[in-house]
């Protein structure tokens, strides 16, 4: 687990308890389980429950985040009851009002993804104060494309002077090769990676996970 001086790392899109073990061994703070059928990282409820059951049995390890995209109450009810995540990530077009309703319904911390292409995209951040526990700044991809995990990068200097009151993570095209520079440029206290630690879409690579965490925490 990370110490107070480490950059917290979230490894998103894991598929198996073995992936969880690799993230835990590397020192990640969070893992992400994807619930979005169009994604190559989409999990069944039973696969997600296998991961969270494994995490609970270990007692100490990364927190389990459920990534959702405009999921309705029925879907969220099933997911929360079955997968039992520690946090919910909203990665679609959810409004602050929707986020507040989800927070109250499940009493779970929220991560709100903000897709960024230019400075105007940061204007919404303040609307999530008091609702989201974390903001996650991700690259804005192609219209109609996947909402995350695409490997796109945005201009990190947009965040260099970000002074919002909500904690935030940096995502979008990060890899072992660029994460150290990304942290230096943005001052991020937490980073999120998915495709950058894979050998193929949806297939996590333990060696790359270790490299990523090590590079993220360089000082």
Q: Mind listing the pLDDT tens digit of every residue in the chain (219 residues)?
A: 444 458 999 999 999 999 999 999 999 999 999 999 999 999 999 999 999 999 999 989 999 999 999 999 999 999 999 999 999 999 999 999 999 999 999 999 999 999 999 999 999 999 999 999 999 999 986 545 555 555 678 999 999 878 889 999 999 999 999 999 999 999 999 999 999 999 999 999 999 999 999 999 885
76 Cβ contact partners less than 8 Å away, ≥ 6 residues apart: 68, 88, 102, 105, 106
What pLDDT was estimated at residue 20?
Answer: 98
| φ, ψ at 38 (rounded to 5°) | -75, -10
Distance, in Å, from the CA atom of 166 to the CA atom of 129, rounded to the nearest integer, reads 6
- Give yes or no for a contact between 169 and 10, defined as CB atoms under 8 angstroms apart: yes
How is residue 152 written in tokens?
Answer: 């796109």
Let me know if residue 1 belongs to a domain: no
Residue 140 lies in a domain: yes
Domain assignment present for 3: no
Contact present, 132 and 111 (Cβ < 8 Å): yes
In a domain, 113, yes or no: yes
Q: DSSP string of the chain?
A: ---TTSPEEEEE---SHHHHHHHHHHT-SEEEEEE-TTSTTB--HHHHHHHHHHHHHH-SSPEEEEEESS--HHHHHHHHHHH--SEEEE-SS--HHHHHHHHHHH---EEEEEEESSGGGGTTGGGGTTT-SEEEEEE---TTS-SS-S-----GGGGTT---SSEEEE-SS--TTTHHHHHHHH--SEEEESGGGEEETTEE-HHHHHHHHHHHT--
Q: Based on the structure, what is the number of domains in the chain?
A: 1
Q: What span, in angstroms and rounded, lies between the C-alpha atoms of 120 and 165?
A: 18
Q: What pLDDT score was predicted for residue 4?
A: 42
Query: Where in the sequence is the domain holding 107, given as residue range(s)?
Result: 8-216
Supply the pTM of this predicted model.
0.91
CATH of the domain at 27: 3.20.20.70
2 inside domain: no
Model pLDDT, residue 2: 41
């Amino acid at each position: 687990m990370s110490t107070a001086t480490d950059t917290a790392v979230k490894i998103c899109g894991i598929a198996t308890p073995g992936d969880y073990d690799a993230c835990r061994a590397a020192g990640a703070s969070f893992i992400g389980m994807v619930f979005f059928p169009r994604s190559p990282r989409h999990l069944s409820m039973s696969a997600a429950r296998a991961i969270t059951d494994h995490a609970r049995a270990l007692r100490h390890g990364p927190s389990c985040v459920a990534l959702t995209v405009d999921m309705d109450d029925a879907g969220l009810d099933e997911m929360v009851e079955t997968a039992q995540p520690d946090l919910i990530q909203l990665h679609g077009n959810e409004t602050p009002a929707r986020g507040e309703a989800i927070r109250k319904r499940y009493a779970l911390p929220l991560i709100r993804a903000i897709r960024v292409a230019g400075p105007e995209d940061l204007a919404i951040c303040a609307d999530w104060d008091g609702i989201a526990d974390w903001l996650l700044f991700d690259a804005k991809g192609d219209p109609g494309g996947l909402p995350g995990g695409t490997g796109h990068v945005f201009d990190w200097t947009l965040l260099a002077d970000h002074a919002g009151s909500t904690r935030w993570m940096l995502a979008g095209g990060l890899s072992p090769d660029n994460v150290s520079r990304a942290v230096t440029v943005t001052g991020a206290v937490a980073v999120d990676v998915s495709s950058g630690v894979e050998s193929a879409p949806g297939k996590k690579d333990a060696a790359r996970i270790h490299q990523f965490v090590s590079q993220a925490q360089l000082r």
